[in-house]
Each structure stands twice: as C-alpha cells, then as structure tokens.
C-alpha cells in the first residue's frame, strides 16, 4: 500500500503527517521561522502568522519528501530542509562522528610525548621570542577597549612567524582580564579570508559570529551597517580579527573598505586587526582611501633567527631530554637559513622523532633519544629535492632523451628546443651508446612521460614533432646523476 | 582433450584477472610502505598529519595506498576510529564539487541521501565548524587526494589551505595524503599553504638498476601459486569487506583467488615452463629492450596481458616466438604503417613535400608549391600523367586530415584560400624513406623519384 506514494492523494496524506510534525516541533522549540517573522513583521501577531505560512509551504515540502520515497522514520524527525533551516538559524550545532574507542593515554614513551609536544597544533600559553610584539598588540587593544573608541592595526610577516598565534594570545589574555573584571567586556569576532568562498561572505561570517544566524550577504551587510552606524547606548566594543587580508581584496575593494570604514564611525566602537603576509600590501594592492583608513599603526613580524627557533623547540620539549642539544641546533640553523618558519622547524623535529623511533627498535624505549644523525635524515627527506634521484631512476631511453635535450641546449645555446632537434640528438646518442633508436612516436611517449614528471616541460603532444621542449632540471643535475651512476 | 582445454582456460582467466584487478598487491617499496602505514596508524591514534606521495606514472602510488589500507582494515582499532574520504583531481574539478563530495563522504548533518543542502559558502562554513567542533575524541578523517596537482589550480587553493590548516591546529585529527606524479608539486602551492604543509614527501621510484628484479617480476606475473598461497591471498582480500566507502570502490570488484583451484601437476608444469623460458638469452634480450624503454610495472603488465591473451588450446604454452612478435609490435612505428596505407598519389605528394623540405630546409609549403613540384614529376612519368588537379587537392586534404601535414597557424581559418594555406610536415625523412621501402607494389618510377629530387 505504501508503494503508491506518487499519487496525489497519498502525498496529501503525507503532507499532513509532515505538517503535524512541524507543529509538534513548534511546540517544543521555537523555530527560526517565528523569530524571523518577528524581525521582518514586528508587531504582527505570530500566533496567527506562523501556521498560515507553514500551510503555504507544506505542499512543496511534501512533494519533495515523496520523490525521495523515504518513509519518515521516527529516529530522524527532521527533514533535510528543516535541518538546513536549523543550521542557518544556528540552532543545530555541527558535529563530527565520535570515535568508538578512545585513545589509550597511558604508556607513552618519552619520544611519543616529545612528538605530541612538538605538534604545530599545540600552542603554548605564552609564545617564546614574541614578547615585544605581544606587548605592542596588547597595549594597542587594551587602550582601544578602555578608551571605547575604534581603530585599525595592520600586522604583517612571512608565514609561520607567529602572527595569528600572538594576536589570539593577546585576545585570550584580554578575555582573562575581563573575567577578572579588570577590563570592560568586549565582543571578539574572527574571520579568515581563505576560509571564505568570496570576499562578500565576510559579512555573513561576521554577522554569524555576532548572532549565530546565517543570512545572505546583502542582508547581513545591511544589518551590520545598521549596527555599526547607528549609535546605541551600552554597546560593547567589538574586536574584529581579519586574517589573510589580501584575499578579501577584490577589484572593487568594497569589502575591505567597509571593514576599515566602520571603525571611523563614532557609533561603531570597532577595533580591526588585519593580518597579511606582505609588508607593503596597503600601498601595493589597496586603493588610496582604503590605505588611508588602514592607518599607520603597523607591526611587522620578522622571520625567526636560528637562536629563536632553537628556543621555541626547547621550550616545547620542556624538561624532556628526548633531543640532543646539537640536534635542535642543526634544525634551527637549517630552517632559519631557508625561511625562518616555525612550523617547518617543528615538523622536521617531529619527523626526526619518528625516524629515531623506527631506526632504534632494539634500544629500550625509555632511553631513546634523537641524535644529530636522525635530524640529518629528516632534513634530507624534507628539504632536499628528489630530482637527481628521479633522473637516476629513469629508464635507459628516458635518460638518453634527457641527455639529448641537454645536448641540444648546448648546441643551439637557447633554452627552448624543439622535438625535431632533440630527436636527431637522440638518434646520435643512442647510436653512440649502442642502444636501439626509438621511433619518433615512441620518443614522443618518452617525452610526455618525462613531461608528466616535470623533468622537462613540453607542449601538448598534438603539436607532434614541432613541440617545444624546455629542460626543467639543470643540465648539471643530469650530468651528475648519470655520471655517478656510471661509476657505480 | 576438452579437459586440458578447460584447464588452460582457467589458467588464462586466472592470470588475466590477477593482472587487471589485483589492486592491492604491491611489490617492493618496503620503507615507503611502512612509512605511510605508520603515518596512518598514528592518525588513527589522534595525530594530525599531511603527506605527499610522489612518483612517476605507473609506479604504484595508488596501489601503495590501497595496500596500506588493506593491511589496516584488519585492525579493528583502525576501522572503528577513522573515516576515509577520497578525492580525485580529475573528478572534483573545483572546490565546490570537492566540498560536496567531502560532506557526503563524512555524512555530515546537511546531507540527505547523498544530496547536499545549502550553497558553497554554507557548505564550507559548515564543514569547518564541524572539524572545529571535533577534538581528540572525534574520529580521525583520512583525506586521500589523487591528482593532487590539479587541486593546486583551484581558485585561491581554498580547499587545500583549509585542510592543511585543520591538520595544523587543535581540531579534529585529520590526515591529508596527496598523490601526484609531479616532482615539483610543492612549488605550485601558495606560500601560506606551503607553510602549513608538513613537507613530508614519500617518493616512489621504480628502480632502474636492477634488471634482475624486472625479470623476477615477469616470472612472478606469470607464476601460478599453490593452493595454500591462494588461500592466504583470499583471506587478505576478505578483510576488504570492512571498507564500506561508497567512493573507494576497489574492494567491490577485487580479484579474489578463492574461485580458483589448480591441480598440482598442472601448476608444476606451468611454473617449470616459465622458469625455463626466463633463462633463455633471447627472452632476456626481449625483456631488456622493454626495460630500456619503460621500467614501470604497468608497462610490463600490459605486455604480459597481451601475451596471456594469446594462449590457445593448440598452443598452450607461452613461446619465445610469441614474445618476439609482440615485442616487435612495440618497436614498430605507427606512422610508417599509416604511410603504407596511403595511395600512390598521396605517397607522391609526400615525396614532393620531402623534396621541398630538403631543398628549402624545412620551409613551410602550400598546395600550389607541392602541386607544381608534383606536376613536374607527373609530366614525365608514365603512370601519373592524367591526374586532375581536383583529385590532387583531395589527396592533399586527406594528408591534412590524417595529420601527416599540419597547418602553420591554427587560428587563421577562412582568411586564406585552402590552396594557399601554409603547412608543415609532421614526419622525419627517415620515416618517409622507410615507408617508401616498405610500400607494397610501389611503381619503380616513384621509388626512383623518391631517391633524388632531379627528374
């Protein structure tokens, strides 16, 4: 009997079921519908309004429910669209599946503990080597909150220098102060340019963090505009942290302009802290009026020096002696020479603990320790390039092809070669080495295989023997890889 | 002997299935395998990680992942504590599609029957909230991203940034495994994405120095295992049933040796024959030419598959002659085959083009130039005298359609009349010479004309 759900009469019956369920829900918790009705039609009696709207809506819903041909289960009382409404209203908290058996916390070796401490996600309470920057931001924010005025700050620095960690650390300290009633209360809103699908979604995210509701960006924009431009007594100061500012810059720059314009309004009491990578972003990318509003309160995070990196790693390790002193120093010096990225140093240390774990299976677990050899192996894995190894592990004809490209570059003196020229070189070299000369079609296959690995850069092979070929490794690498192999 | 024929059919079927559908058997790569395996085990224990698996095409990157997953599926602690999400750069061509797929595979709240509700922005926000809400108590999520380099081309690299960012912050434990064939894939990442990536790279290179391993592999691919080994293998495959992913489908149609059983005598005979075959110098030489060209296992597998497909009741064993015939197919040039299928008129045009290129050093040509050169020959030849211009033009167009000659400019269509459009030749002189030598029943005049441009 349930098979004939597609007939209209059945669907009407089904819609009644759905309707009843909605009303039941309404009794239990207030749905977003009702609250939204309050916003848009202030003054209208919602007792009358809500049922009318729901009866209008039910037919479409019932049709959808019948097309999915899933009988409503008792265990899942919400239809997907109802769920979506709840999500939009911020009433349904997002969850992820829980693990069936919790992690066994006990019996962890010293190396495992060190590895946990070295994970980038473990942010220490106070960041070492960033005290000056901390004080700088702290005094700025504290002053703005106490004076009840708005302002902007621009923080820059290469990735991995502790910008976001320091700022959130400052906010945490301030919130602690608020809890102890040493400071007036404030709201904190945090957005990240890279977590948005487009710049205008910034309005949605800000509004969502202030009220918990998800609206369209136009709506959110007008509501935020209203909030920040109309004076209201007893308004709290809002601290807005904008991470990855450069992503929010589109051609019109209306989003960045709005975010930086609101603090200038006396009613807003908004403090904006912006974070980006490049120091000269305001001058390079932003329009004059936006740069002007961003102001000159700026702070630059310098890349960590090797001493600072060493301090960071040792601070994380705490009292543990899982690392030898010189091992940490080697990591610090190598990373500081490349990028000064703290994440990189921590990841390399973590990899070193894994290597130590693997290689020293025989040693008793308590006495395991990361020595300089392990660190060297980890560095080789994570910093060194594998191009030479890739060339060594090419097949013989592929190696001949690479040699031919290098030879053609030497012959013509130009970086860019064509397949025809390379093929004549292949014929020569293969004949010289006593290998079978591949037909052009097969040589094209070699070429596209090397191109897929990016040892060479080549065009689409529909251009056949006229395609242009660039060498993506240095000719020295080829000679080195093939000669070393030859000696063995 | 219907029985022998039946046995042979089973052997052939077994070998073919093993070549094609055994997605989880990985040979070699012990350290790399244990590296990935330990990483996944630690992820299941609640650590967040990221890794890139890099290697040339056909090196067994996907097989390594599948093999490691097969190993881990036996452990209950892994199965219970992890979700596996698989993405492919060829299928998930932008972040919008990828995000929907992630949401479906993670069974988040805004999914009903594989349909995701809400806009792109809402989906991203919801996924990030879910991951943020998680902690050490929530399930680990393993993201396996194939064709990782294609994800780098997405707008702003939003998805990669967010995945790597979650793996580097105190949220739900996730592990991001990127699989790609590009060696320089790290250079494609934006610097903030690069900073969040943990720079673990596992390289898979098939070894080029061990020809013995290659011959051993050849033998292994043709080897028929004993019933005991078959049993072991089918036990391993059985654990795959636990992998209930809708997206990872390699377990559904996996090669399952449980259906096969061989008589001891037949197995011994077959294996003995293969072992004998592999010792022959001519076979070794054949394998060496294959090995010189391409050392990947995938290439050898296609070769062996074609070899196995030739097994027939009247020739029940793999012979050296069969192998040689197959290998020579790999050697031969398809373009010469194509040239030999042309008519004599078209060959004449090709020869005219060749003469033109030789005289003017690869200068481009058009129909008029070639027709003039051809006419000079046709006037004095006894066979080509009354060929009309329209027919020659048709032949010229045919050459163009089969892409033996290519137009110089792709965009300039319609500007120039087709008789005057400039072309270049996509052949080498060597290929033309070989085709002329190989052509069946080519008139002597033409063969002589091909040797010299003088008439």
Going by C-alpha positions, the residue among B13, B47, B146, B400 that lies closest to residue A118 is B47
- Comparing A2-11, A244-253, B276-285, B343-352, which segment has the lowest mean pLDDT? A2-11
Q: For the residues A14-33, what does the mean pLDDT come to? A: 42
B307 has pLDDT over 90: yes
Q: Are B253 and B294 in contact (CB under 8 A)?
A: no
- Asked whether A376 and A383 are in contact (CB, 8 A), the reply is no
Nearest residue of chain B to residue A102 (CA atoms): B137
Q: What is the pLDDT of residue B414?
A: 62
Question: pLDDT value at position A367?
Answer: 61
Q: Which CATH code is given to the segment(s) B29-203?
A: 3.40.50.300
Q: Which of A30-34, A463-467, B127-131 has the lowest mean pLDDT?
A: A30-34
* 3-state class (DSSP) for residue B361: coil
- ipTM of model: 0.94
On whether the CB atoms of residues A375 and A330 are closer than 8 A, the answer is: yes
pLDDT at A38 over 60: no
Nearest Cα residue to A237 out of A293, A296, A178, A292:
A178
A264-283 burial, b at 16+ Cβ within 10 Å, e below that, comes to eeeebbbbbbbbbbeeebbe
What percentage of chain A carries pLDDT values higher than 70?
Answer: 80
Q: φ and ψ at B147, to 5 degrees?
A: 50, 55
Whether the pLDDT of residue A10 is over 60: the answer is no
The answer to whether the CB of A332 falls within 8 A of the CB of A338 is no
Q: Please tell me the predicted confidence (pLDDT) of residue B283.
A: 94
Smallest Cβ distance to A120: which of B95, B156, B168?
Answer: B168
C-alpha–C-alpha distance, residues B52 and A347, integer Å = 14
**CB contact (8 A) between residue A87 and residue B124:** no
Provide the percentage of residues in chain B whose pLDDT is more than 70. 97
Please report which confidence band the pLDDT of residue B221 belongs to, taking 50, 70 and 90 as the band edges: very high
- Looking at per-residue confidence, does B23 or A74 come out higher? B23
pLDDT in tens, A428-476: 999 999 888 899 999 999 999 999 999 999 998 888 889 999 999 999 9
Instruction: Select from A159, A382, A446 the Cβ nearest to the Cβ of B192.
Output: A159
Q: Which residues of A touch B113 (CB under 8 A)?
A: 68, 70
- Is residue B215's pLDDT more than 50? yes
Q: How many CB pairs under 8 A join A and B?
A: 231
Q: Is the dihedral of CA B346, B351, B355, B358 positive or negative?
A: positive
Q: How far apart are the first and last CA of chain A?
A: 80
Instruction: Determine, for residues B203 and A247 on separate chains, whether the beta-carbon distance falls below 8 Å.
Output: no
Q: Is the pLDDT of residue A105 over 80?
A: no
Position A185 scores a pLDDT of 92
Residues of B in contact with A123 (CB under 8 A): 170
Q: What is the CATH number of domain B336-451?
A: 1.10.10.10
Does B344 have pLDDT greater than 90? Answer: yes
- How far apart, in whole angstroms, are the C-alpha atoms of residue B286 and residue A488? 25
- Report, as an integer, the average pLDDT of B296-318: 91
Asked whether the predicted pLDDT for residue A31 surpasses 50, the reply is: no
Pairwise CB contact (< 8 Å): B331 & A343: no
pLDDT band at A99 (very low <50, low <70, confident <90, very high): confident
Q: Name the band, by pLDDT with cuts 50, 70 and 90, for residue B108.
A: confident
With CB atoms and an 8 Å threshold, state whether A194 touches B406.
no
Distance of CA B348 to the CA centre of its chain: 38
**Rg (Cα) of chain A, in Å, rounded?**
32
Chain A residues within an 8 Å CB radius of B207 = 393
Give A399 to chain B, closest Cα distance, Å.
10
CA-closest candidate to residue A97, choices B420, B137, B248:
B137
pLDDT, one tens digit per residue, over B353-399 is 999 999 999 999 999 999 999 999 999 998 888 899 999 999 999 99
Q: What share of chain A is helix, strand, coil (3-state, %, to 5)?
A: 60, 10, 30
| Nearest residue to A459 (alpha-carbon basis) of A485, A424, A422, A428 | A422
pLDDT band at B413 (very low <50, low <70, confident <90, very high): low
Residues of chain B contacting A95 with CB distance shorter than 8 Å:
109, 130, 133-134
Minimum CA–CA partner of A441 in chain B = B333
Contact A454 B182 (CB under 8 A): yes
Residue B388: partners with Cβ closer than 8 Å, 6 or more residues away: none
Tell me what the pLDDT averaged over chain A comes to.
82
User: Does the beta-carbon distance from A98 to B139 stay under 8 Å?
Assistant: yes
The predicted-structure confidence for B8-57, as pLDDT tens digits, reads as follows 999 999 999 999 988 888 888 999 999 999 999 999 988 999 999 999 99
Please report the pLDDT score of residue B226 as a whole number. 87
**Closest among A236, A241, A262, A270 to A172, alpha carbons compared:** A241
**Which residues of chain B does A195 touch, with a Cβ-Cβ cutoff of 8 Å?**
124-125, 128, 158, 161-162
Q: Mutate which of A61, A79, A96 to disrupt the B interface (most B C-beta within 10 Å)?
A: A96
Task: Determine, for residues B133 and A197 on separate chains, whether the beta-carbon distance falls below 8 Å.
Answer: no
Instruction: Name the band, by pLDDT with cuts 50, 70 and 90, for residue A104.
Output: low
Find, among A71, A141, A439, A180, the residue nearest to A297 by Cα: A141
Residues B70-89 have pLDDT tens digits of 888 888 888 888 889 999 99
Q: What is the pLDDT of residue B337?
A: 94
Q: In this prediction, what percent of chain A has a pLDDT beyond 90?
A: 60
Cβ pair B81:A101 closer than 8 A: yes
Q: Which chain A residues are closer than 8 Å to B77 by Cβ?
A: 101
Q: At A417, is the pLDDT very low, low, confident or very high (cuts 50, 70, 90)?
A: very high
The DSSP string of A110-122 is: HHHHHHHHHSTT-
CA neighbours closer than 13 Å in the CB half-sphere of residue B170: 8
pLDDT value of position B4: 85
Backbone angles phi, psi at A177, to 5 degrees: -60, -40
B168 vs A343: CB contact, 8 Å cut-off? Answer: yes
Instruction: Among B143, B288, B428, B434, pick the best mutation site for testing chain A contact (most A Cβ within 10 A).
Output: B428
Mean pLDDT (whole number) for A251-263 = 93
Q: How far apart are CA B425 and CA B438, in angstroms?
A: 20
Asked if A195 and B124 come within 8 Å (Cβ–Cβ), the reply is: yes
B123–chain A nearest CA distance, Å: 10
Residue B166: its chain A contacts at CB < 8 A?
A: none
Q: Do B196 and A343 lie within an 8 Å CB cutoff?
A: yes
Pick from A192-196, B111-115, B262-266, B323-327: least confident? B111-115
- Strand B115-116 and strand B111-112: pairing? antiparallel
How far apart (Å, rounded) are the C-alpha atoms in residues A105 and A166? 30
Chain centre to alpha carbon of residue A309 = 23
Residues of B in contact with A428 (CB under 8 A): none
Nearest residue of chain A to residue B52 (CA atoms): A382
Mutate to test the interface with B, among A84, A197, A344, A455 (most CBs of B within 10 A): A197
pLDDT tens-place string over residues A179-236: 999 999 999 999 999 999 999 999 999 999 999 999 999 999 999 999 999 998 888 8
Contact criterion met (CB below 8 Å) for B323 and B308: no
Nearest CA in chain A to B203: A386
Report how far residue B369's alpha carbon sits from residue B364's, in angstroms, rounded to the nearest whole number.
Answer: 10
CB A436 to CB B331 under 8 A? Answer: yes
Are the beta carbons of B56 and A244 separated by less than 8 Å?
A: no
Tell me the torsion sign for CA atoms A443, A448, A454, A460. positive
Which residues of chain A are within 8 Å of residue B291 when distances are taken between CB atoms?
Answer: 395-396
CA–CA distance, A63 with A188 (Å, rounded to integer): 43
Distance from CA of B46 to the nearest CA of A (A): 7
Q: What is the pLDDT of residues B420-453, one digit of tens each?
A: 999 999 999 999 999 999 999 999 999 999 998 7
A92: nearest CA in chain B?
A: B109
SS3 sequence, A39-106? HHCCCCCHHHHHHHHHHHHHHHHHHHHHHCCCCCCCCCCCCHHHHHHHHHHCCCCCCCCECCCCCCCC
Mean pLDDT estimate for chain B: 90
| Residue A379 burial by Cβ neighbours in a 10 Å radius (0-12, 13-18, 19+) | middle
Report how far residue B447's alpha carbon sits from residue B436's, in angstroms, rounded to the nearest whole number.
Answer: 7
pLDDT score, position B247: 66
Domain boundaries, chain B: 29-203, 210-331, 336-451
DSSP state letter for B154: S
- pLDDT given at position B1: 53
pTM of the model: 0.88
Q: According to the model, what pLDDT value does residue A12 have?
A: 39
Contacts of B134 (CB under 8 A, 6+ apart): A95, A96, B171, B172, B173
What gap in Å lies between CA A118 and CA A109, rounded to an integer?
Answer: 14
- CB burial string B183-195: b at 16+ within 10 A, e below: bbbbebbbebbbb
Query: Do B72 and B64 form a contact (C-beta atoms < 8 A)?
Result: no
- List of chain B residues whose C-beta atoms are within 8 Å of the C-beta of residue A214: 122, 125
Q: How far apart are CA A238 and CA A252, in angstroms?
A: 26
Q: For residue B262, is pLDDT > 80?
A: yes
Region A248-263: mean pLDDT is: 93
Where are the alpha helices (H) located in B57-170, listed in sequence order?
61-73, 76-81, 95-105, 120-133, 148-151, 158-167
CA–CA gap between residue A419 and residue A464 (Å, rounded): 8
Using CA atoms, how far apart are residues A111 and A117, in angstroms rounded to an integer? 10
What is the DSSP track for B48-83?
A: -EEEEEE--TTSSHHHHHHHHHHHHHT-HHHHHHEE
Beta carbons of A457 and A472 less than 8 angstroms apart? yes
pLDDT tens-digit map of A131-145: 999 999 999 999 999
The yes-or-no verdict on residue A112 having pLDDT over 60 is: yes
Say if the Cβ atoms of B201 and A101 lie within 8 Å. Answer: no
For residue A151, the cross-strand partners are: A271
CA-CA distance, B295 to B290, in Å (whole number)?
8
Q: Name the residue of chain B whose CA is nearest to A191's CA.
A: B125
Q: Which residue among B205, B403, B406 places its CB closest to the CB of A390?
A: B205
Across the interface, whether the CB atoms of B109 and A94 are under 8 A apart is answered yes
Distance from the Cα of B173 to chain A's closest Cα (Å) equals 10
């Amino acid at each position: 009997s349930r098979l004939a759900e597609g007939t209209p009469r059945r669907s009407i019956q089904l819609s009644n079921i759905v309707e009843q369920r909605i009303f039941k829900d309404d009794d239990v918790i207030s749905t977003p519908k009702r609250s939204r009705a309050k916003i848009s039609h202030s003054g209208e009696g919602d007792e009358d309004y809500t049922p009318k709207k729901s009866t209008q809506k039910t037919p479409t819903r019932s049709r959808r429910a019948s097309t999915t041909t899933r009988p409503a289960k008792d265990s899942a009382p919400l239809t997907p669209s109802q769920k979506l409404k709840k999500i939009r209203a911020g009433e349904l908290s997002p969850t992820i599946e829980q693990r069936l058996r919790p992690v066994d916390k006990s019996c962890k070796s010293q190396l495992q503990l060190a590895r946990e401490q070295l994970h980038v996600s473990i942010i220490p309470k106070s960041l070492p080597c960033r005290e000056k920057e901390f004080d700088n931001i702290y005094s700025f924010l504290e002053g703005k909150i106490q004076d009840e005025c708005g302002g902007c700050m621009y923080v820059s620095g290469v990735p991995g220098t502790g910008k976001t960690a320091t700022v959130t650390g400052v906010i945490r300290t301030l919130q602690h102060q608020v809890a102890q009633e040493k400071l007036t209360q404030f709201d904190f809103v945090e957005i990240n340019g890279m977590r948005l699908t487009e710049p205008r979604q910034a309005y949605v995210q800000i509004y969502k963090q202030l009220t918990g509701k998800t609206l369209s960006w136009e709506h959110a924009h007008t509501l935020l505009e209203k909030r920040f431009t109309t004076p209201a007594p007893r308004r709290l100061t809002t601290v807005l942290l904008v991470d990855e500012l450069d992503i929010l810059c589109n051609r019109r720059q209306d989003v960045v302009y709005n975010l930086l314009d609101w603090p200038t309004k006396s009613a807003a009491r908004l403090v904006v802290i912006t974070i980006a990578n490049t120091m000269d972003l305001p001058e390079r990318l932003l329009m004059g009026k936006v740069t002007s509003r961003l102001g000159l309160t700026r702070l630059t995070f310098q890349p960590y020096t090797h001493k600072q990196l060493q301090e960071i790693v040792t601070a994380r390790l705490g009292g543990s002696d899982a690392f030898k002193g010189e091992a940490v120093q080697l990591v610090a010096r190598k990373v500081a020479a490349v990028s000064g990225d703290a994440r990189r140093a921590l990841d390399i240390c973590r990899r070193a603990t894994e290597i130590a774990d693997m290689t020293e299976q025989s040693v008793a677990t308590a006495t395991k320790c990361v020595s300089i050899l392990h660190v060297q192996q980890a560095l080789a894995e994570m910093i060194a390039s594998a191009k030479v190894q890739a060339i060594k592990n090419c097949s013989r004809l592929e190696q001949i092809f690479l040699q031919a490209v290098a030879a053609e570059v030497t012959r013509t003196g130009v970086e860019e070669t064509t397949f025809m020229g390379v093929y004549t070189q292949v014929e020569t070299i293969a004949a010289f080495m006593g290998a079978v000369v591949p037909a052009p079609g097969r040589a094209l296959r070699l070429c596209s295989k090397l191109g897929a690995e990016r040892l060479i850069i080549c065009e689409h092979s529909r251009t056949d023997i006229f395609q242009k070929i660039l060498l993506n490794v240095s000719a020295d690498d080829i000679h080195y890889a093939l000669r070393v192999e030859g000696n063995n | 002997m219907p029985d022998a024929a039946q046995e042979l059919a089973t052997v052939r079927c077994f070998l073919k299935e093993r070549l094609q559908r055994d997605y989880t058997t990985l040979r070699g790569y012990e350290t790399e395998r244990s590296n990935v395996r330990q990483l996944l085990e630690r992820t299941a224990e609640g650590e967040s990680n990221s890794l890139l698996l890099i290697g040339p095409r056909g090196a067994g990157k996907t097989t390594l992942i599948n093999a490691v997953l097969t190993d881990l599926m036996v452990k209950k602690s892994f199965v219970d504590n992890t979700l596996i999400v698989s993405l492919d750069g060829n299928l998930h061509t932008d972040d919008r599609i990828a995000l929907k797929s992630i949401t479906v595979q993670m069974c988040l709240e805004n999914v009903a029957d594989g349909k995701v509700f809400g806009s792109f922005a809402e989906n991203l926000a919801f996924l990030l909230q879910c991951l943020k809400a998680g902690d050490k108590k929530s399930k680990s999520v393993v993201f396996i991203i194939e064709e990782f380099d294609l994800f780098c081309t997405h707008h702003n690299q939003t998805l990669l940034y967010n995945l790597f960012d979650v793996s580097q912050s105190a949220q739900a434990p996730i592990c991001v495994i990127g699989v790609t064939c590009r060696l320089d894939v790290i250079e494609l990442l934006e610097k903030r994405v690069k900073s969040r990536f943990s720079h673990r790279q596992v390289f898979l290179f098939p070894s080029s120095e061990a020809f013995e391993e290659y011959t051993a592999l050849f033998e292994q691919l043709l080897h028929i295992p004993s019933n005991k080994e078959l049993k072991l293998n089918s036990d391993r495959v059985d654990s795959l049933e636990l992998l209930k992913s809708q997206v990872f489908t390699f377990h559904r149609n996996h090669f399952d040796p449980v259906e096969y059983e061989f008589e001891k005598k037949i197995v011994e005979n077959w294996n003995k024959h293969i072992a004998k075959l592999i010792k022959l110098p001519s076979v070794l030489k054949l394998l060496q030419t294959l090995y010189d060209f391409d050392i990947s296992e995938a290439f050898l597998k296609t070769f062996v598959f074609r070899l196995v497909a030739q097994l027939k009741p009247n020739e029940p064993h793999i012979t050296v002659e069969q192998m040689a015939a197959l290998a020579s197919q790999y050697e031969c040039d398809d373009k010469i085959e194509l040239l030999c299928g042309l008519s004599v008129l078209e060959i004449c045009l090709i020869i005219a083009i060749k003469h033109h290129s030789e005289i003017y050093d690869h200068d481009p040509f058009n129909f008029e130039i070639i027709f003039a050169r051809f006419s000079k020959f046709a006037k004095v030849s006894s066979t080509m005298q009354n060929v009309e211009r329209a027919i020659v033009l048709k032949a010229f167009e045919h050459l163009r359609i089969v892409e033996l000659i290519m137009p110089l400019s792709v965009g300039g269509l319609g500007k120039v009349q087709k008789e005057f459009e400039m072309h270049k030749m996509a052949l080498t002189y060597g290929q033309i010479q070989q085709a002329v030598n190989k052509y069946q029943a080519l008139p002597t005049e033409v063969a002589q004309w091909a040797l010299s441009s003088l008439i």
